[in-house]
């Protein structure tokens, strides 16, 4: 299968990209770059809980947007373009109290000015927790 990434990437390329950001605060980690997907994890703990001790839906959306945004930018020439979130939605399917959740981002559409990505988030047992879709705007970098 041909890779959809603009150039070859490794996980190390992204490890130090997010100090002092929401990504670091939520301990989101990239764990796998496949030819047509990007996968990452996020712990379910006090940082990501809502008041009833369940994974907060907003934390799931933060994981989804992180994976979709990184993947979108990996698919373009970053010396000429930047991809930014334009719209995101999520369906929360199953509650999670502890452990790790894993999200996988896959492209539905890669266009000249927009991209559409789907992100599935599963619990440690592989059960679907959340399905999200993000639209990314592809914009030229300012000169």
Q: Which residues are catalytic?
A: 65
DSSP 8-state secondary structure symbol assigned to residue 55:
B
Chain position carrying tokens 């379910």: 44
Q: Helices (DSSP H) in the chain: which residue ranges?
A: 12-15, 22-25, 57-74
Nearest alpha-carbon partner for 27 in 70, 56, 63, 68: 63
Phi, psi of 65 (to 5 degrees): -70, -35
Residue 57 tokens, joined: 């839906």
User: Token pair of 1, please?
Assistant: 């299968």
């Amino acid at each position: 299968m041909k890779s959809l990434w603009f150039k070859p990437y490794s996980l190390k390329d992204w490890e130090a990209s997010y100090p002092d950001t929401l990504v670091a605060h939520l301990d989101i980690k990239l764990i796998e770059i496949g030819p047509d997907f990007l996968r990452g994890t996020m712990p379910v703990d006090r940082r990501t809980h809502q008041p009833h001790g369940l994974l907060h839906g907003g934390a799931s959306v933060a994981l989804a947007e992180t994976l979709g945004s990184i993947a979108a930018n990996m698919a373009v020439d970053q010396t000429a373009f930047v991809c930014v979130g334009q719209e995101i939605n999520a369906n929360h399917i199953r509650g999670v109290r502890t452990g790790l959740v894993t999200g996988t981002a896959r492209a539905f559409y890669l266009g000249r000015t927009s991209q559409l990505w789907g992100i599935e988030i599963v619990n440690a047992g592989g059960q679907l927790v959340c399905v999200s879709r993000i639209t990314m705007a592809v914009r030229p970098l300012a000169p």
